[in-house]
Amino acid sequence: MTEAARALSGALEGGVHVLPVRVYYEDTDAGGIVYHANYLRWAERARTEMMRLLGTEHRSMAETEGTIFAVRRCSVEFDRPARLDDLLRVRSRILAVRGATIDIEQIVESQDRDMDAAPAGRGAQVRISLTLCCLNRDGRPVRLPAAVGRALEALAAAAEGGRD
């Protein structure tokens, strides 16, 4: 992966994937507030880039392993609205890796200078909790490919080690 491509993928910081996002006009409603579904789009993009940094691109996983991820459960809490031109970050943390599923917490928060000193998740715009399920080509649940499971478990362990 080139440096330019890596920069677009965000970064892994202490077991947490961080993806910067700018709020554009197209992301907002007539009042300049982010439309609620866009938070889910940004979260999906962050999960995709996290997997890319772990060396597991979705397309290659589908082609070589015959598996894909699907959202099994998703819960969203909207704390504060984001607005036009805000600079945000999506923080993705693996909570658990089990046979065919992955539990993930994603927080969309401000990147304003005031917020940089705050602990992760404080001042969050949105908190997303979800479970992904690994499916085969027939749409049936299957165990995560071994290499993917190991990479996600290592990320989860790194995140747990970095928590207070």
Q: Decide yes or no: CATH 3.10.129.10 for domain 3-161.
A: yes
Active-site residue, from 29, 79, 85, 112? 29
Q: What is the per-residue pLDDT across 13-39, written as a single tens digit (0 to 9) for each?
A: 999 999 999 999 999 999 999 999 999
Question: Rounded to whole angstroms, how far apart are CA atoms 158 and 59?
Answer: 26
Both tokens assigned to 154: 């290592």
User: What pLDDT is recorded for position 6?
Assistant: 72
Strands (E), the chain: 11-13, 16-22, 67-78, 87-98, 101-110, 124-136
pTM for the full predicted model: 0.88
CA 19-20-24 angle, 5° bins: 130
User: What pLDDT is recorded for position 121?
Assistant: 47
State the pLDDT confidence band at 8, using cuts at 50, 70 and 90.
confident
User: What pLDDT is recorded for position 45?
Assistant: 97
86 belongs to the catalytic site: no
CA 162-47-125 angle, 5° bins: 75
Q: Is the pLDDT of residue 164 over 50?
A: no
Which of 137, 91, 139 is closest to 118 using CA atoms? 91
User: What pLDDT is recorded for position 160?
Assistant: 87
Domain ranges for the chain, please list them: 3-161
State the pLDDT confidence band at 82, using cuts at 50, 70 and 90.
very high
Which of 120, 112, 111 is closest to 16 using CA atoms? 120
Q: Is the pLDDT of residue 154 over 70?
A: yes
